[in-house]
Structure 1
Amino acid sequence: QLAFDYLDGPVAVVGSRNWITPPAELEDGFFPQKEWIIDVIHERILPLPGHKPVTRQSTDEILRRNRLGV
């Protein structure tokens, strides 16, 4: 996602935050949720009129999460 600036169309990836599978009560923060997908579309592909993001899905946020590691 961070390396595809020269494509004709945007790339947007939504996936699990890391490779450790959490217990069931933490699944909402680990597995992709519908809000994550809508927020990625809004922030990376096409701004949606009237949409207020629930999560941060910007390139800066992806880099910040990667710096924090697993």
Structure 2
Amino acid sequence: MISYKPLFQTMKEKNISSYELSKRGFSRSTYYAIKHGKSITTNTINQLCKILHCEVSDIIEYTENT
């Protein structure tokens, strides 16, 4: 299962809000899709990495379903 928990932690560490993401060109609707655990594209992950200056592992993580 893919989790976006690292994204929210990274945003907190870098003091970047969802509003700041939108000011930097990130779609609010995509942000809300992430908040609700919906699928995103690799292009979206790439965009987040550019905005946040981070690695993919700072955005998503995989955990096996139990």
Provide the TM-score with structure 1 as the length reference. 0.26
Higher RCO (CA < 8 A, seq sep 6+): 2
Which has the larger share of helix? 2
Larger CA Rg, structure 1 vs 2: 1
Which has the larger share of strand? 2
Provide the TM-score with structure 2 as the length reference. 0.27
